């Protein structure tokens, strides 16, 4: 069974590593310490949430019909794009106006974690006949 969220999580991690390396090597000399901190915040959030997406993808393998997990995955990916993406663009294009987008990404990430938490807290019905005794 293919998992779109495993793919998006791995892709997000790949891009996050690339952005981190780009920032550390190509941008370090040209950015102010404040800009570098903003950029690194984008990288850090992207990497943590890439792992979150991978976790959602793995959870969906066990609960493939869960709407909570699917919504959590979509919101987490949107959050990565809006939060980290806006921070990258804010620094790279030096457009402070892009900072308006960042909180929407943050809210999306918070909602994704909330939905994942709700899914985890729900009592899961396990078919006892599918497990070895």
> What is the per-residue pLDDT across 50-64, written as a single tens digit (0 to 9) for each?
999 999 999 999 999
Q: Please state the domain extents for the chain.
A: 4-120
d(CA 71, CA 67): 6
This prediction's pTM = 0.88
| pLDDT the model gives residue 130 | 52
Q: Is 35 exposed, middle or buried (0-12, 13-18, 19+ CB in 10 A)?
A: middle
Q: Write out pLDDT tens, residues 20-53.
A: 999 999 988 899 999 999 999 999 999 999 999 9
């Amino acid at each position: 069974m293919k998992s779109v969220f495993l793919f998006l999580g791995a892709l997000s991690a790949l891009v996050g590593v690339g952005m981190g390396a780009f920032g550390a090597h190509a941008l370090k000399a040209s950015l102010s310490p404040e800009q570098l901190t903003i950029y690194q915040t984008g990288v850090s959030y992207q990497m943590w949430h890439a792992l979150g997406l991978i976790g959602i993808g793995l959870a969906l393998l066990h609960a493939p019909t869960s709407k909570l997990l699917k919504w959590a995955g979509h919101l987490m990916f949107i959050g990565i794009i809006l939060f980290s993406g806006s921070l990258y663009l804010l620094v790279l294009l030096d457009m402070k106006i892009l900072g308006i987008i960042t909180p929407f990404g943050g809210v999306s990430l918070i909602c994704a974690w909330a939905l994942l938490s709700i899914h985890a807290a729900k009592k899961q019905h396990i078919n006892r006949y599918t497990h070895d005794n």
